[in-house]
Amino acid sequence: MARRFPLWVTASVVALTVGLAAPPAEAATREAPPRLPDTYAVSAEPGMVPEGIAVHRDGRMYVTSDATGALFAGDVRTPSMHPFAVGAVDRPSSRGVHTDTAGRVWSVGAGTLTVHSRTGRLLATRTAPDGPLGPADLNDLAITADAVYVTDWANPIVYRAQLRHGRPGPLQPWVDIRSAFPQFPAQYWLLNGIVADAAGDTVLVASNGTEAVWRIDVATRTVEQLDLGDQSFGADGMVLAGRRLYAVLNYGAPNGVYVADLDPDLRSGTVTHKILTDADGQAFDLPTTLARHRCRLYVVNSQGDHRPGQPPYTVSTVSDPACGE
């Protein structure tokens, strides 16, 4: 049998239900996250030619110039960037850039590794010795808890600097990668991106020349090819998130972002996603590297195949296809 309630009780319940179901419009507006730009203007300076990118966990963004050596800074919430560390970088080219857990900015180019504070103050400079083929031409870097590892575009060498209290020691040759493929011509290794696992036990190094990624065991310095099947994978920049490898390819395969899921030992994997256009459906303009922040990927359009290119030089974004998996 249905229960009956006084009219005043029914009216009170209805009013309470309506109040809970319909919060004030201004509260909903306050909670809505701001829309982030799809494209970022790095610089309108002719001939800048961007190369590397880093996005810190707080959203600060840094981009390097391969043509001038300059660094640029910005934020994922704003569509334009500005010069960074002006007067504190003295080299003709800057390529790889990363931030550490303290927010310091590490970058490489020509023959030097530099470290800047988040305000742009120069904290350290380390110079790489010549390799077996001549002067170093540093390309990218990976930072672990106790070391920084650096690739050399001109020599088949991976350099290493020991870290003590966050400061790098001398930059020294660590692995001559020719040991893994001695018959391959030394001058064509063209080492590019480099990443390390969270424990600092394994380093992955990309080689344009061999169209492959090479795995280095840190303890033994043993080098072996990462098995990705028949996929040409001469990556430029790379990001490693757990066992998921994100890479920009611009040689040996269509330009774009490629995602591979790797096995627990980081010895083999399968390419699961290929992204050949940006958020607006436009083709990337010779992409060189990428950064990952939350569920978005930030991709540098270098215009490097038609230098000096056409300003403004930009960073494009795409959704991370593996986010949440």
Higher pLDDT, 13 or 44: 44
Would you call 104 helix, strand, or coil by DSSP? coil
The whole-number average pLDDT for the span 268-296 is: 97
Q: In the structure, what pLDDT confidence band is assigned to residue 180 with cuts at 50, 70 and 90?
A: very high
> Model pTM?
0.90
Contacts of 102 (CB under 8 A, 6+ apart): 166
Q: What mean pLDDT comes out for the span 3-7?
A: 39
Q: For residue range 16-69, what is the model confidence (pLDDT) as tens digits? A: 344 444 455 444 445 667 899 999 999 999 999 999 999 999 999 999 999 999
Residue 129 CA to its chain's centroid (Å): 26
Q: CB within 8 A of 80, min separation 6: which ones? A: 40, 41, 74
pLDDT band at 319 (very low <50, low <70, confident <90, very high): very high
The per-residue pLDDT for 324 is: 79
Q: Is the pLDDT score of 264 beyond 90?
A: yes
Can you give the pLDDT at residue 157? 98
| In the chain, % of residues over pLDDT 90 | 87
Tokens linked to 194 = 């480099």
Residues 121-143: what's their mean pLDDT?
98
Say which residue, 10 or 294, is predicted with more confidence. Answer: 294
**Neighbour-count burial of 136, counting CB atoms closer than 10 A to its CB (0-12 exposed, 13-18 middle, 19+ buried):** buried
Contacts of 89 by beta carbon, 8 Å cutoff, 6+ apart: 69, 70, 71, 107, 114, 122
| Inter-residue contact 102 to 126 (CB < 8 Å) | no
pLDDT score of 2 more than 50: no
The arithmetic mean of pLDDT across residues 8-22, rounded, is 41
**Across residues 191-200, what is the average pLDDT?**
98
What pLDDT score does 34 carry?
A: 81
How many contiguous H segments (helices) and E segments (strands) does the chain have? 2, 25
| Predicted local distance difference test score (pLDDT) of residue 139 | 98
233-to-6, 192, 252, 268, 291 alpha-carbon distances in Å: 74, 12, 7, 12, 18
What are residue 98's DSSP bridge partners? 106
In what helix (H) or strand (E) does residue 31 lie, and over which residues does it extend? helix 25-31
The pLDDT confidence band at residue 93, using thresholds 50, 70 and 90, is very high
CA separation, residue 164 to residues 14, 32, 146, 196 (Å): 66, 43, 7, 18
> Which residues, in sequence order, are bridge partners of residue 261?
244, 270
Mean pLDDT of 65-93: 96
The pLDDT value given to residue 20: 41
- What pLDDT shows up at residue 14? 36
Can you read off the two tokens belonging to residue 269?
A: 């994997």
Q: What is the pLDDT of residues 140-168, one digit of tens each?
A: 999 999 999 999 999 999 999 999 999 99
The neighbour count for residue 13, using CB atoms within 10 Å, is 11
Q: Quick check: 282 and 314 in contact, CB under 8 A?
A: no
